[in-house]
Structure formats: structure tokens, C-alpha cells
A and B are shown apart, each in its own frame.
Chain A
């Protein structure tokens, strides 16, 4: 195996960094018309238009709040279910696992009407809690799968050890399991936030316009030929999960045995 680093860097630049830079460039200039004969025409118009949208901030805060709530619920449900699935064996376990995965196999839109009806009866339609709960449908199966795998990799022995040493449930969770689950927590954070942030139809129907998330403001603008405006919107859209991801990263540092910058290392 030779050193693959240059290849990785080249692929990374061509496929990830260059498109992002193009997006940034486009958002800061007038739409490019190659026949027009001008070079890049620097303009802040697209960001001005973005900021001028009266619902931009409201929608951004809603999206962040909902994203975090969905993440917390996902972590709780995912960790508990994942642990249960990997530590107990019972009759019909494959069926239970299949059932837990089923929400991603059935399109959410197909059951949206039934869920909406149910939410109206529960009084959850047109509320934020309703939107948070509906966002669990496309996210929870992934979280369960990810945590299940992590616990599987840790193995039963590592779970028995703290138990033998007399640790209670929470001590075990915070000092043994969560630090080892850090990579899984990262994956779940990213997946959950990105999925929750991009739900349009189910948010519109369950939130009923009372809960205004970013896609509700952005998606109608996709039918727009103005590439600069689209780029500005896309960057804003990408910015939100990145900020949230960094926040979660900071929270993860608070876990025991983290390599925190302010502690001495060997």
C-alpha cells in the first residue's frame, strides 16, 4: 500500500472544495452568462435578497431548535434501543429489527395523511412538538442502526466489566459507554440534523405553516433561474448544520476522557 495522501487531496479538491468555491463565487457575483462577454461581476445582491426575506431568521431559529430536539430524542431512543438490541436475545428479534427499520423503507409521504389525521386528533398538528415527532420518522431508524452497531462492536464483556465493578446505570453510561460511542454520536448528529433540516412536505403538512422551517422558505425559490440567489441560499442552508455540528462537538468535549485542549496531554 503506497501513500495515498496526494490522491486523496486531489480528489478532495476536485470534488469537494472546488464546487464549494464555485458556489461561493457565484453567490457573490451576478449570474454568469458566458456569451455576455463580461468577467465575474462582483455583487452582493443575492445575499441582500436573502437577508431581506422577512422569514429568514425566524425560519433559521425554528430549524435549529427543531434539529436539536430531534437530535436529543434520537440519541436517547437510539442509545437505549441499540443497547437493548445488542445485549438481549429474544424470540422474533429479526422481526423487531426489521420493524424498527421500516420507516425508511416506506415513503413518509405515503403515510403523511394518516399521521396528520392522528396528529390532529392528538392536538399535535400545527405545533412544534408535532413537527419534532414527525421528523423522528425518517431519522430514528438510522440512529438505532448506528448505535446498535456500536454496541455490537464494544462487545458484551465491556458492558459487564463496569457492572461487576459496581457502577450504576448512569455512571456506566457516562464513563464507559458514551465516551466509546463518540464516533457514533457524531454520525447520528450529522445525519439527524441534515435529514431534519431538509424535510419539506411533512413539515409543511404537520407544521401547517405555524412552524416555519428553512425549507419552507427556500424550496419555493428552487424554481428560480437566478443562479446567484440559489447559491446564496444553498450556502446559508449548508451553514446551519455546520454550526450545529460544531456546537455538538463542543458538548462532546464535556464527556469524560475527552482530549480537551485545556487539559495536559502526554
Chain B
């Protein structure tokens, strides 16, 4: 019994000790950039981000962190954590009124951003303070103004963009399909050689949204309109017809769909299916290098186009080093850092910078980068670019796909 008393006293003491919390730090967006930079010096910035890709991890550790160290004597610490967990942590800290958080920078987009914005988990509008953002980015571009239908309002800064492509083995397929009708024919001609992940999966859902775009009279009807089931009913009907038509010639006759992209990748790696996909036009490069994908892997996009999205960097409401975070974001948006990210050496991901705004010498540097044989030329990607629709479509697709396709 005595131990319990001791423990109780200990806990009460702790409770009392943490009653008083720090007062809110000042509003850095109102300060001059010089002020921000000098305050960022000799500080520590903790970047929380998904850590499941070695190339991305190494880009941060080996390319971004050393420059920040040199420039600001700043210590950029990468912490691997999944975004939903980060948001849950912030949400609880918000509720507990904890103002001195451990997170200074997060990598975010889409549904997570919507969630964070709605729950006031972010610092606020800050992109206008960033010199590099104002100088090199098309600040009024729709891709930066909205994120899966959520108004960005300067609360996150674009870090990169990716586009959806389908990968195929060029040794097995001479000329890949050009449109969704072609794909339909191809699937019937090659039964069992194509499938897509379930609608609950991020990539599977994106594939299904492409089908929806393709069945609409015009893709604009989807991405420019909020979700309205009544208006959508014709398009939706054609989409289910299309999916049910191909389903019997899918892998395992469509009785089973891969649970996630990883499963589809494994099937492709084993040669069971001849195509895989991904919401990242350059993701096959590292997989080819690791011998997971055959070296003859190439990619293609289908008419009417390929959906692309932007991903962003943002600062949580309780970051204790907002000035440092701003300086770090500003560097990560610079042509220099974006070029290093664009090179296949580490990450190989497309830049969010607008080429027209760059000085000639930088444009040349970007153009001279060889992204690898499996990546489509940027012109082709740009021509086929389609924006993402409202995030309500994602949930709608999850529900309807199960009812209309799986249960048929």
C-alpha cells in the first residue's frame, strides 16, 4: 500500500509541475525575412515525415540537412512517422493545450491537410513570407491554390508534384494501350494479366478516379465540380459498366483484388501480371535498380489524361522553432534543392517550380537531367496532366466500388 501512496504523491507533483505552459511564440509571418533567417541560425528543426523510402530519406539526410547546417548552422532532424500518427499527436496536444510541441515541419497533402486545417493544427498562412516561393513558383496556379479540393490559403508550401502513370514490361507488351477503350480491349485479349488495387488503397482509388474521368463527357465535369451523386449518376453508371466488363478478365478473374500497391508490385515483379501503376511517374527507377522490377519496365499514360497532385510542407501550430522551419522550407523550395530532388541519384521526383520563372542557366540544368528510361518525357506528362478532384470523390469511390463492382 505504501508504494501506491508514494506513486500517488509523485503523480500529483508531476501534475502540478506541468500546469503552467509557455506563452505563444511571436507571429513570425509579420517579421522581415532577415529577422527570420538570423533567428533560424543555430537552431534545431525537427522534420516529421513518412520514412518508408530509402531514396527520400537519403535526400533529406545527405542533401538537404548538410546545406542547412552549412548555411544556418541549423540541425535538421528527420523523424520517421506516418502522417496520420503525426496528426493524432498534434490533435491531442491541441486538446491538452500543449504549446511547446516537438514537431517543426511536416510533409502533408490531401485528406491529411484537410483534416489538419479543419482542426486548426497548423501554424497559419505563411507562404507569402517565403522569398523562393514568391520568386520561382506560379503562386496562383490551381495546383497550389487547392489541395484535393481544400483551399490551401498559404498554410502549406508546395514541395513537389507527382503524376499517375501505368508501368508495363516492354518485353511482353510491344505497344501499350493509348486510351481507356484500348485498355479494355487489351485486358480482354490478355486475360489475367491486369489488375488494380482495391478502392481503399490510395493508388487503387486513383486508378478508379481515372476511369471515372474517362467515362465523363469531359474530365472537367468531375474535377471542377463538387461531388453531386445525382448529377454524376450517368457517368457513374458507365464507370461501373466499364469496371464490371473488365473484371472477369482481370487477374484471378477479378474475384480477388490486390489489397494495396505493394501486392500489385509483387505480382508484377513475379511476372504474374504485366502492368503495375503508381502515383509517381518516376517510382520504377529505384525498383529497377534494386532488381525488383525488370529492366525493361516502361510507363505510359492513358487518354484523357493522368491525374497529378502536389505535396506540401507545413508547420504545426505548436512548433517551437517557426523561424527555423520557415528558413528550412524556403531552402527546400529553392531551385538548388529542387534540382537535387529532381536528379535520380536520391529521389528523382518532379519539381513544383515553374520553369518559366527560372533563370536560363537553371532551366538548362533541369533539362539536362536524365530521369531514366522508365520515366516519360516531361512534355508528355505536362500535356496529359489532369488536376485532382475534391477529396469527397475518394470516399465516394471507396463505398460505391465495393457495392457496384465487388458485390456484382
Contact = CB atoms under 8 A, between A and B. Distances in A.
Contact of B93 (A120, A209, A222, A223): A120
Given A204-B89, A209-B80, A222-B52, 14 more contacts: A33-B270, A36-B271, A45-B290, A53-B54, A113-B92, A117-B95, A121-B96, A204-B82, A205-B85, A212-B79, A217-B51, A223-B52, A225-B266, A227-B269
B102 interface: yes
Interface of A: 30-31, 33-36, 41, 43, 45, 49, 52-55, 112-113, 116-117, 120-126, 201, 204-205, 208-210, 212, 216-217, 219-229
Contacts of A212: 79-80
A225 to B, nearest CB: 3
B141 interface: no
B224 to A, nearest CB: 32
Nearest to A49: B54
A201 B86 CA distance: 10
B135 to A, nearest CB: 32
A45 B11 CA distance: 49
Given A220-B52, A225-B266, A113 B88 contact: yes
Contact of B79 (A116, A209, A224): A209
Contact of A220 (B51, B98, B290): B51
Contacts of A45: 290
A53 B57 contact: yes
Given A113-B88, A117-B96, A216-B80, A209 B270 contact: no
Given A205-B88, A209-B48, A217-B80, A122 B266 contact: no
B266 A33 contact: no
B249 interface: no
Contacts of A228: 290
Contacts, number: 115
B92 A117 contact: yes
B15 A122 contact: yes
A33 B50 contact: no
Closest 4 CB pairs of A and B: A220-B52, A225-B265, A35-B271, A209-B79
A123 B50 CA distance: 26
Contacts of B15: 121-122
Interface in B1-52: 11, 14-15, 17-18, 46, 48, 50-52
Contacts of B17: 123
B217 interface: no
A205 to B, nearest CB: 5
Contacts of A30: 290-291
B81 interface: yes
B179 interface: no
A216 B48 CA distance: 12
